[in-house]
């Protein structure tokens, strides 16, 4: 992204929209890299896309998250979301996904767990002690399925014209891979 993100608390709709656009752009680049055979670079972009998407969803549902945490008496978690959770840090992705599932988003924990495997592959390759994949083909197959799942999730969201256009472009590219 070329411009600095606005403060999420002051302009949540703008922040969420920019993170969604970032997610779409990273996903597009991931598909392009995979198509060219750069699987680990593609994996890195796919993971960045997922983080940006989760951040967008968190911010667009921030009031619901805070309300739920307040009812549960989880003031420390509210502080965490205000301090850093809104940005979907890697170390908090499973918890964030679980929280979003509690709000009605289905399958996010499973997808996040798979995306963390893609993240390990991006940084460590096929190291048998770290990577969940035994071959490059396994990694690429998993990544294609995760890309499709992410596209499906984004397709269910309210999108503006620019986002819709980019999503359609992504769908066409994904069919070519």
pTM of the complete model: 0.94
pLDDT for the residue numbered 1: 42
Contacts of 152 (CB under 8 A, 6+ apart): none
Task: Render pLDDT for 2-20 as a digit per residue (tens, 0 to 9).
Answer: 456 557 888 899 999 999 9
Task: Render pLDDT for 95-148 as a digit per residue (tens, 0 to 9).
Answer: 999 999 999 999 999 999 999 999 999 999 999 999 999 999 999 999 999 999
pLDDT above 60 (res 83): yes
């Amino acid at each position: 992204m070329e411009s600095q993100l606005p403060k999420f608390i002051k302009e949540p709709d703008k922040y969420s929209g920019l993170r969604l656009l970032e997610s779409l752009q990273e996903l597009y680049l991931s598909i392009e890299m995979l198509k060219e055979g750069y699987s680990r670079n593609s994996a890195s972009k796919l993971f960045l896309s997922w983080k940006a998407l989760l951040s967008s969803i968190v911010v667009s549902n921030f009031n619901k998250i805070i309300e739920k945490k307040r009812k549960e008496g989880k003031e420390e978690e509210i502080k965490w979301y205000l301090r850093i959770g809104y940005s979907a840090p890697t170390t908090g992705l499973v918890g964030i996904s679980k929280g979003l599932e509690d709000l009605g988003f289905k399958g996010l924990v499973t997808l996040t767990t798979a995306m963390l495997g893609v993240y390990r592959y991006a940084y460590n390759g096929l190291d048998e002690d770290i990577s969940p994949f035994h071959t490059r083909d396994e990694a690429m197959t998993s990544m294609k399925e995760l890309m499709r799942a992410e596209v499906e999730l984004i397709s269910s969201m309210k999108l503006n014209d620019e986002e819709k256009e980019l999503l359609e472009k992504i769908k066409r590219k994904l069919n070519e891979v």
